[in-house]
Amino acid sequence: MACTRRTKTLVSTCVILSGMTNIVCLLYVGWVTNYIANVYVKVPMPVPDKKLDGDKKGETLRIIERLDRLENVVNQHIQEIPLRGEGVQAEAEQSFSDSSLFSHWGRDLGPESRRVALKMFQAHGYNSYLSDRISLDRPIPDLRPDGCKNISYPPHLPQVSIVFIFVNEALSVILRSIHSAIHTTPTHLLKEIILVDDNSSNEELKLRLDEHVSELNSRRPGLLKLVRHQRQEGLIRSRVSGWRAASAPVVALFDAHVEFNTGWAEPILSRIQEDRTRIVSPSFDNIKYDTFEVEEYPLSAQGFDWELWCRYLNPPKAWWSLSNNTAPIRTPALIGCFVVDRQYFEEIGLLDEGMEVYGGENVELGIRVWQCGGSVEVLPCARIAHIERAHKPYTEDLTGHVRRNALRVAEVWMDEFKTHVYMAWNIPQEDSGIDIGDISERRALRKRLQCKTFRWYLVNIYPEMRMYTDMAAYGVLKNSLKPEVCLDQGPDQDNVPILYLCHGMTPQVMYYTQTQQAVRQACSAPTIDSRRQQVPGGRQRQATPPGVQLRHRQTHEALLALLPGRLYPEPTVQALSGAGGERHQ
């Protein structure tokens, strides 16, 4: 699933909407806010205290979970609205044009086709209507840096098994991934392609997929293998299932919505042949979810923030100083698709199969491989285009799983730095009430492999990661004059913090440090290098600097001042009540 964007928060969810849908959304938010108004964790002024209001934290957590679920309900509601508009033609038309699917595509489509396309888009998170109508063998532009074509590779390279995992993916998208793998991988290097179906319910993935598999196998016997899960195991155990079915010396673990670029395999196989403890990621380009155009992404390393969501990073200084844009890029972690020596992957502990559904496994693998003596890199000459979905199938509440998985990583690998993960998720350090499952096996693995400390990893492999060593408090920042509004990072489009109804999720989590005496938004600038950071498909944010004042956009009245050492809420209550609404029109 690679580097996904952050799940939309209530704030940004409402902000991107217009008209009636915005009001529906705000009503939900308002309801939620009333519900939590009296119990929410407060961090009023910096007190050298850990997590405040300890006795209420269990309740807080339940509320956060409820909020997460409600967020999904809101999203779902929003997505379903266009389909309900059938009786009211004009309104339905209006909703169609609201969908991001139609902002760059489909203007000439008739109403019935639009309805079908929208429904397919909602199911898959990309334009599967269009995918069904473009060639499975389309060429994509060669986006390799100059110089890649001139590199020659050893004549004898190890063979690779390519694993594609999926659940309810569009059939044409899976088939295009397969066709592209067959066309771009030299025949003698491609041992097999393994499809792992994580218990899809989609009808087209049953008989019709079987037919395609037999048809491809009749042309190249034994090339395709199909593994079907009898119950849903999630992305992490699906990758491991694929690895178990693989027989080539090298295994490539990918999503099933990718297209390979020319010559992707040779650079990777040759790096692994040189050193089997290297785990290698290709460089990613984007297939736009609406038009299916391939968009070039800048060369990046792959890192993460303290919530352990993945992030693209600027390559390290040492790489720039080589002035060789075909050279491997050292990377602290992986975004999820990677290639590995089959046996080494087992020796190093596969993936953490105690993780559920989605998220964190890519970060855990990166940290583990580095701490336990291997290395991880991204190769500029191996490029793969990947569909960055507009949304995941919305029935899944991913955030809860990502958080649980992140805590497993923190507890096993991060030593004293595990506190940073708890802070980033705004949950108490002790008795968080979250069941992270059994981690004894992973701890035993760390001991057996005699791995280095997380401090070593941060200093040597991920120096860009920001450390917070003098934390005074963390939590949401309320205005004492109007306690139902909190400081919030605001809409995605700009860097202007706003006041917004308190919901306590990531955009509202603040850190207060003792020495710097500054308030920081927790998720705003996770790495020191963020000025130069390239974030393809993501967004960049700066920390709120001390001394900043928030002012109402229209009246310019001061709403809240963040000054070194103190917080100054100012008595402008009327402006405050306007502040939330003003942004959402």
Ligand X SMILES: *[C@@H]1O[C@H](CO)[C@@H](O)[C@H](O)[C@H]1NC(C)=O
As measured in angstroms, the least distance from the Cβ of 232 to ligand X is 7
Q: Which is nearer to ligand X, 87 or 155 (CB)?
A: 155
Q: What single letter denotes the amino acid at residue 346?
A: E
CA nearest neighbour of 163 among 234, 233, 257, 253:
253
Site string for ligand X, 225-264 (x = CB under 6 A): ---x-xx---------------------------------
**Please, what is the Cα angle at 572 between 570 and 573, to 5 degrees?**
115
Stretch that binds ligand X, among 49-57, 166-174, 323-331, 576-584 (CB under 6 A): 323-331
When CB distances are held under 5 to 8 angstroms depending on the partner's kind, the choice from ligand X, Mn ion, none that residue 147 binds is ligand X
Stretch that binds ligand X, among 73-81, 87-95, 303-311, 322-330 (CB under 6 A): 322-330
As given in the structure block, the two tokens for residue 444 are: 């035993």
As measured in angstroms, the least distance from the Cβ of 387 to Mn ion is 7
Stretch that binds Mn ion, among 1-9, 13-21, 450-458, 543-551 (CB under 5 A): 1-9
Binding residue (CB under 5 A) for Mn ion from 2, 265, 350, 473: 2
CA nearest neighbour of 83 among 104, 105, 98, 103:
98
Give the count of beta carbons closer than 10 Å to the beta carbon of residue 416: 10
Stretch that binds ligand X, among 59-67, 324-332, 433-441, 553-561 (CB under 6 A): 324-332
Footprint of Mn ion on residues 200-259 (CB under 5 A)?
255
Please tell me the distance from the alpha carbon of residue 520 to that of residue 423, in angstroms, as a whole number: 12
- Interaction between residue 150 and ligand X (CB under 6 A): yes
As measured in angstroms, the least distance from the Cβ of 294 to Mn ion is 15
As given in the structure block, the two tokens for residue 342 are: 């089959």
- Interaction between residue 326 and ligand X (CB under 6 A): yes
When CB distances are held under 5 to 8 angstroms depending on the partner's kind, the choice from Mn ion, ligand X, none that residue 255 binds is Mn ion
When CB distances are held under 5 to 8 angstroms depending on the partner's kind, the choice from Mn ion, ligand X, none that residue 327 binds is ligand X
As measured in angstroms, the least distance from the Cβ of 145 to ligand X is 9
- Interaction between residue 1 and Mn ion (CB under 5 A): yes
- Interaction between residue 147 and ligand X (CB under 6 A): yes
Q: What single letter denotes the amino acid at residue 156?
A: H
As measured in angstroms, the least distance from the Cβ of 256 to Mn ion is 9
Binding residue (CB under 6 A) for ligand X from 34, 97, 199, 469: 199
State phi, psi for 584 to the nearest 5 degrees: -110, 20
Contacts of 532 (CB under 8 A, 6+ apart): 314
**Contact at 8 Å (CB) between 195 and 265?**
no
**Contact at 8 Å (CB) between 12 and 491?**
yes
CA nearest neighbour of 563 among 551, 546, 550:
546
Total chain residues near ligand X (CB under 6 A): 11
Please tell me the distance from the alpha carbon of residue 228 to that of residue 255, in angstroms, as a whole number: 15
330 forms bridges with which residues in the sheet? Answer: 377
CA nearest neighbour of 339 among 406, 274, 243:
243
Binding residue (CB under 6 A) for ligand X from 108, 112, 146, 430: 146
How far are the Cα atoms of 381, 466, 467 from residue 487, in angstroms, in the given order? 44, 22, 22
When CB distances are held under 5 to 8 angstroms depending on the partner's kind, the choice from Mn ion, ligand X, none that residue 2 binds is Mn ion
Q: Which is nearer to ligand X, 198 or 488 (CB)?
A: 198
Q: Which is nearer to ligand X, 135 or 230 (CB)?
A: 230
Identify the H or E element spanning 311.
strand 310-313
CA nearest neighbour of 462 among 274, 249, 316, 287:
316
Alpha-carbon 228 to chain mean position = 25
Q: Which is nearer to ligand X, 157 or 498 (CB)?
A: 157
Q: What single letter denotes the amino acid at residue 217?
A: N
When CB distances are held under 5 to 8 angstroms depending on the partner's kind, the choice from Mn ion, ligand X, none that residue 324 binds is ligand X
Q: What is the 3-state secondary structure (H, E, C) of 478-499?
A: EECCEEEEEEECCCCCCCCCEE
As measured in angstroms, the least distance from the Cβ of 36 to Mn ion is 33
Binding residue (CB under 6 A) for ligand X from 189, 327, 449, 496: 327
Binding site for ligand X (CB under 6 A): 146-147, 150-151, 199, 228, 230-231, 324, 326-327
**Interface residues with Mn ion (CB under 5 A)?**
1-2, 255
